[in-house]
Amino acid sequence: MSSDIFFASSNKNKYAEAREILEDFGVKLTFLKCKLEEIQSDSLENIAMHKALQAFSICSQPVIVEDDGLFIDSLNGFPGPYSSFVLETIGNKGILKLLSKQRSANFRSVIAFCEKIDKVSLFDANVRGKISRKEQGRRWGFDPIFIPQGKNKTYSLLDDKNKISHRYVSLEKFANWYLHKRKSND
């Protein structure tokens, strides 16, 4: 296993998924449970970068943060970077009430890695899909309403979610970059 990297978040579910995904690449995560300031921005990249710099200032160790958003086409990309707030206020049921026939969406993830003050590397991913007509399954977040392209079940009902999700793809990009970087430095 590689040396520890902290995963900064207040969301233990997000950490558990990231830990499971990165273990397959030989990267070990340690949970840095903290509430990071979420700046108001239309850019997931800016939000993730801000959080990574803040997390590094807390632990002074290599750290990653993940920010993601559900971008629904018929709602002009809403809730996008405001997904956490929307989930807390209107939830999945509220999102479903806003939609009519057009249900296509993107689920985006941005991983921000910081190991030095003012140096952040970003890794992003986008998974196309659609919003289901009703909640299906019990996982957390938008998993019960997002059906990835090529599948007929929501993330909540997929056994292989952690091999195909937006979070998986961005973490895979990070892991490949990080392991190559470590090997180059050895």
Return the active site residues. Answer: 67
Q: Pairing state of beta strands 79-80 and 29-33? A: unpaired
How long, in residues, is the chain? 186
Only one residue has tokens 């990653």, namely 64
Contacts for 109 with CB less than 8 Å, ≥ 6 apart: 44, 66, 67, 68, 124, 125, 165, 166, 167, 169, 170, 171
Q: Measured between alpha carbons, how far is residue 149 from residues 8, 18, 42, 101 in Å?
A: 29, 22, 25, 17
User: Which residues are within 8 A (CB) of 148 and not within 5 positions of it... i.e. 6 or more apart?
Assistant: 107, 127, 128, 129, 155, 158, 164, 165
CB 70 within 8 A of CB 126: no
